[in-house]
Amino acid sequence: MDERKELMKESYEIRQWFQDNDWKVNKRYLGEWTEDDPRWVQYLADREVKRARLDIINYILGGE
């Protein structure tokens, strides 16, 4: 039960990160940031890690 609760908390935190950082996509696609801008590159790297972790959590929790 504790593990499930911790995973749900982590899932919430990751989803919150996506919400807090979704403006960065606009910076890139509106041309304010270039494809090689360090802020964009870092966002993509962070997003990849967080997305992978969220997928694992969702799998463990049964697709919630």
Q: 11-64, pLDDT tens digit by residue? A: 999 999 999 999 999 999 999 999 999 999 999 999 999 999 999 999 999 965
pTM of the model: 0.85
Query: Both tokens of residue 33?
Result: 């940031």
pLDDT on residue 5: 95
What amino acid is encoded at 10 in this protein? E
Res. 1: pLDDT tops 90: no
Closest among 45, 28, 46 to 37, alpha carbons compared: 28
Closest among 51, 55, 60 to 21, alpha carbons compared: 51
Please state the domain count of the chain. Answer: 1
**Which is more confident, 1 or 5?**
5
Domain limits for position 49: 2-60
Q: Which residues contact 59 (CB under 8 A, 6 or more apart)?
A: none
